[in-house]
C-alpha cells in the first residue's frame, strides 16, 4: 500500500511537503510528509539534512513541483518549487511589529489580495492571468521590495535591521517561487495541506512524548500512510 501511495505521489504534478520534530529515545528526530488532495505519505528520519533527503525515493525520482516552507535543501529535488506564502506572512508580520516599517505589511496585503484575485478568476472559469496582469503584479512586488530596502536604511535596532535586510534579500532571490501561484493555477498559495496532515503527528508527540525506538517511529509512519 505504501508503495502505491509513493507511486501516486511521484505521478502528481504538485506535492506539498513539511517536517516536524519528534522525540525518539529522548533525542530529536523527524517525521516528514508528502501530501496531495488524494493521499499522504509519512517518512521517518533521524535528520532533515540534504544527505537524509537523498535517501527518500520520492525525492530522488520526483519530477514535479514541491511546495514547502523555504527548505533550501529541497531545491535539489523536483523541477519546480513554490514557497509557502502563509509561512512568509508570519515573517512579514514579525518584521512589521519589530521595525514599524510599512513595506512588509503592504507586501502581506498584496500577496493575500493576489490569492483572492486568483480564487475569483478560478470561480469565473479562468485558468490563468493575462501576461499584462502578471507583469503588473511582478512590478508591484519589485516596487515593494524597493520600498523595503529604502526603509531598511533607516531601521533602528541592529538585530531588527539585520533580519529585515536578510528577509528582503530572500524575497528578491526567491521572488519567482513566492509568486509561482500566480503563474500556474495548479500551485497552491501555501503548503497548509501538508501542515494539516502533520497535526496528528504533533498531537501524538504532545500526548505520548515521542517514541521509544526508531523502529516504532518508522512503524507509526507506515501505519499512518495506509
Q: How far apart are CA 33 and CA 107, in angstroms?
A: 29
What is the Cα–Cα distance from 185 to 196, expressed in whole angstroms?
A: 21
Residue 3 pLDDT class (50, 70, 90 cuts)? confident
Give the strands of the sheet with 27-35, arranged side by side. Answer: 40-45, 27-35, 14-24, 65-68, 80-83
The confidence score (pLDDT) of residue 161 equals: 98
Q: 2 or 4: whose pLDDT is higher?
A: 4
Q: How confident is the model at residue 1 (pLDDT cuts 50, 70, 90)?
A: low
| Helix, strand, coil percentages for the chain (3-state, nearest 5) | 60, 15, 25
| Strand residues in 6-68 grouped as ranges (E) | 14-24, 27-35, 40-45, 65-68
User: How many whole angstroms separate alpha carbon 77 and alpha carbon 63?
Assistant: 8
Residues 97-106: tens digit of each pLDDT? 999 999 999 9
Can you give the pLDDT at residue 203?
A: 87
Model pLDDT, residue 207? 84
Model confidence pLDDT, tens digit, residues 65-124: 999 999 999 999 999 999 999 999 999 999 999 999 999 999 999 999 999 999 999 999
Tens-digit pLDDT profile for residues 126-155: 999 999 999 999 999 999 999 999 999 999
Write down the residue that cell numbers 500566480 correspond to. Answer: 182
Amino acid at each position: 500500500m505504501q508503495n502505491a501511495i509513493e507511486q501516486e505521489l511521484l505521478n502528481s504534478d504538485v506535492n506539498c511537503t513539511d517536517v516536524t520534530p519528534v522525540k525518539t529515545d529522548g533525542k530529536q528526530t523527524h517525521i516528514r510528509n508528502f501530501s496531495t488532495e488524494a493521499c499522504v505519505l509519512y517518512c521517518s528520519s533521524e535528520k532533515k539534512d540534504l544527505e537524509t533527503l537523498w535517501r527518500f525515493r520520492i525525492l530522488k525520482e520526483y519530477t514535479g513541483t514541491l511546495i514547502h516552507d523555504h527548505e533550501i535543501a529541497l531545491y535539489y529535488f523536483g523541477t519546480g518549487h513554490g514557497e509557502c506564502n502563509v509561512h512568509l506572512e508570519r515573517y512579514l508580520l514579525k518584521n512589521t511589529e519589530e521595525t514599524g516599517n510599512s513595506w512588509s505589511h503592504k507586501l502581506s496585503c498584496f500577496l493575500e489580495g493576489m490569492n483572492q484575485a486568483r480564487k475569483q478568476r478560478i470561480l469565473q472559469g479562468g485558468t490563468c492571468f493575462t501576461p499584462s496582469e502578471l507583469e503588473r503584479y511582478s512590478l508591484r512586488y519589485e516596487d515593494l521590495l524597493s520600498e523595503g530596502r529604502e526603509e531598511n536604511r533607516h531601521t533602528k535596532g541592529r538585530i531588527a535591521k539585520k533580519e529585515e535586510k536578510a528577509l528582503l534579500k530572500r524575497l528578491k532571490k526567491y521572488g519567482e517561487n513566492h509568486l509561482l501561484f500566480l503563474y500556474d493555477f495548479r500551485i497552491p498559495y501555501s503548503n497548509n495541506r501538508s501542515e494539516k496532515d502533520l497535526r496528528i503527528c504533533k498531537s501524538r508527540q504532545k500526548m505520548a512524548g515521542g517514541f521509544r525506538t526508531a523502529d516504532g517511529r518508522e512503524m507509526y509512519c507506515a501505519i499512518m500512510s495506509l
